[in-house]
Amino acid sequence: RVGQIIAIRTKVNRAFKTSMEVGIKVTVQDVLTNTEKIVSVAYATYVAKPVGAGKVELKPVQLLSAEDHLEHSLAIERRRIRLGYVQVFQKLMQESNKEGDFYTCEGKDAVSTEHTHVQSTELVLPPHANHHGNTFGGQIMAWMQTVASISASRLCCSHPILKSVNMFKFWGPSFVGDRLVFNAIVNNTFHNSVEVGVRVEAYNCEEWIKDQPRHINSAFLIFSAVDDKGELLTFPRVKP
pLDDT tens digits for range 38-93: 999 999 999 887 777 778 899 999 999 999 999 999 999 999 988 887 788 778 77
Backbone φ and ψ of 227, nearest 5°? -90, -170
Ranked by mean pLDDT, the top range of 23-27, 29-33, 230-234 is 23-27
Domains 5-89 and 118-239 in one fold: yes
Q: Are residues 189 and 154 in contact, defined by beta-carbon separation less than 8 angstroms?
A: no
Amino acid sitting at position 6 = I
Beta strand segments in 135-178, E: 161-170
Report the CATH superfamily, name and number, of domain 5-89. Answer: Hotdog Thioesterase (3.10.129.10)
What's residue 32's pLDDT? 82
Domain ranges for the chain, please list them: 5-89, 118-239
CATH class of 118-239: alpha beta
184-215 residue pLDDT tens: 999 999 989 999 999 999 999 999 999 999 99
Q: Are residues 139 and 183 in contact, defined by beta-carbon separation less than 8 angstroms?
A: no
Q: pTM of the full predicted structure? A: 0.81
What's residue 110's pLDDT? 84
